[in-house]
Amino acid sequence: MYILGIDGGGTKTKFTLVQTDGTIIHELITPTIHYLQVGLEGLHDTLKAGLENVIHDSGISLNEIKGCFVGCPGYGNIAEDMQLIEASIARALADIPHAIGNDTDNALAGSLTDDHGICVIAGTGSIGLGIDDNGNRYTSGGWYYTFGGDEGSAAWIAQHYMQLFTKQSDGRLPRTELYEYMKQKHSFKEDSDLIQKFVIEHGDNRTIIAQLATDIGVLAKIGDPYAIALFEEAGIELASLVRSIYSNLNFEDTVRVSYAGGVFNSGVFILDPFKEALSDLNVEIVAPVFEPSLGSVILGFKTASISVTPQIIYNLKQSIAN
């Protein structure tokens, strides 16, 4: 028998199929299921196709999947959309017993392998979730990028990177390695090619723009002062999500805080300012145990009423190591 975890993010969706002992059998990456980006039919179609591919590639039957959790970006943000999302997912998953949550739920479950604490996601977008000792929940951030939300995320970093480039281009800021790197990396003949490429050609596509954040990681490593300062600002913004959650929940002891998402792959450039901005709170910053995709698996076990034992956690870790 099997458990299926589905981790939806702003850029991609990851399907993870495991045996009920925690051994990973199959993984699949598909495009995002964020319904505000792909619509409800896009959500349904991507899940249905992904499930069919998992069934085919792993050689199992649908009725062998005993539990599934879908971490769906945007779920719960707009109350009147929740039933529509649930209906689309139910159609796609057919008769598989499943539960649905925001992608913060599986991020927290994966990073802490627990049901309380705080987790901040900084991927394409940014958002934080906390669950206190009494099971109370609080979410902060996730206010979408159109009006400057998703602070500290890859999309936010990329937008500020482009802004720095334009200011260095026209003399509002002194030129640094950042200016030349942008031009050479993206083969700009003219500085205005920035608009041609990211606004006209790519239609202001958030997923494509967010990929620019990796440039800032490169620039920070070679010491560009604006890149380093941008990470510092991002770290402070992400810490503010934790502060908001911390102040709106009740924790009796030291609160474990973890994180997920590609922005945190920048290491000390993002983690140092993040930790410093939280140094006055009774929190412990801990590295994530698992990525969000395995958080979906952990919640999938709970959907199937199967206890997640230390042996299951061990087998999941062994599967990753191998």
pLDDT digits (tens, 9 = 90+) for 90-107: 999 988 999 999 889 999
How large is the average pLDDT for residues 132-154? 89
- Cα distance between residue 195 and residue 217, in whole Å: 22
Task: Please list the residue range(s) of the chain that carry CATH number 3.30.420.40.
Answer: 2-113+290-321, 116-287
pLDDT for 271 beyond 90:
yes
Identify the pLDDT of residue 11. 79
Identify the pLDDT of residue 300. 96
pLDDT for 115 beyond 80:
no
pTM score over 0.85: yes
Quick one: what percent of the chain has pLDDT higher than 70?
Answer: 100
Q: Which amino acid is at 242?
A: V
- Cα distance between residue 243 and residue 281, in whole Å: 8
pLDDT for 171 beyond 90:
yes
Span 2-113+290-321: which CATH code? 3.30.420.40
The residue among 93 and 197 whose pLDDT is bigger is: 93
Tell me the torsion sign for CA atoms 46, 52, 58, 62. Answer: positive
What is the architecture of the domain spanning 116-287?
A: 2-Layer Sandwich (3.30)
